[in-house]
Each structure stands twice: as structure tokens, then as C-alpha cells.
Amino acid sequence: MARDLRSTRTLLHPLWLGALALLVLNDHALKGSYVLPGWLTGKLSDFAGLLVAPAVLASLLRVTSRRGVLGAHVAIGVVFSAIKLAPEAARAVEGLMALTPLPWRITVDPTDLIALPVLLASYRVLGEAMARPAPARPVAHRLALMAGSLACVATSK
């Protein structure tokens, strides 16, 4: 019996929605406000972003398998690791983002790799959410995907 797996179902999971809210609040209200130290807001973005980004990537690619979701998580982890470890990789991504209306400034910081285990939690929780019955709210999925996409590209002040 084939299961109907859809990555967009992860976009309404409470964990994903909470991470999206944290990412937006942190990047657009807390960073630079001096309410929290800069190192902490940076780490919050890393943790929240690593929960949000794989589901966004999988949804944009219309992934319908656990293997595809794993691939999205691995891809996000590889790019994240590269830009946190290698200044050349960070500058390359900044160069690509400079072509968009939302340029990035990436801080190369190997200590940010502390957030990588979040990808395991994301894969486990969100991978299971793919198999849940589809709610009759396709508009909610689309809105969540748009919000997640914008949050991912509008991050990194």
C-alpha cells in the first residue's frame, strides 16, 4: 500500500510554525535591538532557520518521499556548514543573494555548527508529518510556504 507523502504538510506542524515565528521575530525585532546579546540572536536564527529551511526546500521541490526530505535536510546542512566554516563559501552565497532584493551578510562562525543537531529533530518530526492526512486547507499550506520562503531569504542582517 503506497502512502501519500507530501512535504507541504510539514508547513502546518506546530514545531515548524513555532520555528518560523521565532525566526521572523528574532531577525526582524530582536537582532540589533540590544534586548538580547548579539551572539544569542545569532544562535536563535541558526536554530530556527535549520528547522524552517529544510521544509521550505522540500516543499518548493515538491518532495514526496522520506528520502527526498532527507536530501533536503542534508543539502541545508551542507550549505549551512560551508558558509559557517569557509569565508569563500559565505562570500559566494552573499554574491548570489546580492542579485536579489534581499542581500545577505553572513558571519563565518564555526560555533554556529552547534545548531546542526536541530536537523535531526526536524527530519524526524517533520518527516512523520508528511504522512498525516491532508487537511482541507491548501491555502494555509501556500501561505505558510510563502512566509517560510520570505523568512529564509529575508534573514541574516
Name the average pLDDT for the chain: 86
**Full residue range of the structural domain in which residue 121 is found:** 7-153
In a domain, residue 96? The reply is: yes
Q: 134 falls in which pLDDT band (50, 70, 90)?
A: low
Q: 112 falls in which pLDDT band (50, 70, 90)?
A: very high
pLDDT tens digits, 2-29? 455 677 778 888 898 999 999 999 988 8
In a domain, residue 56? The reply is: yes
Q: Are 83 and 89 in contact (CB under 8 A)?
A: yes
Number of folded domains that form the chain: 1
pTM: 0.83
In a domain, residue 38? The reply is: yes
- Across 77-85, average pLDDT: 98
In a domain, residue 2? The reply is: no
- Between 155 and 35, the higher pLDDT residue: 35
In a domain, residue 62? The reply is: yes
Q: Is residue 35 over pLDDT 80?
A: yes
- Across 145-149, average pLDDT: 74
Cell of 95: 554574491
Q: Is residue 113 over pLDDT 90?
A: yes
- Across 34-46, average pLDDT: 92
In a domain, residue 123? The reply is: yes
Which phi-psi region, left, alpha or beta, contains residue 62 (left: φ > 0; alpha: ψ -120 to 50)? left
Distance CA(2)–CA(40), nearest Å, equals 44
Q: 1 falls in which pLDDT band (50, 70, 90)?
A: very low
Q: Are 127 and 69 in contact (CB under 8 A)?
A: yes
In a domain, residue 1? The reply is: no
In a domain, residue 141? The reply is: yes
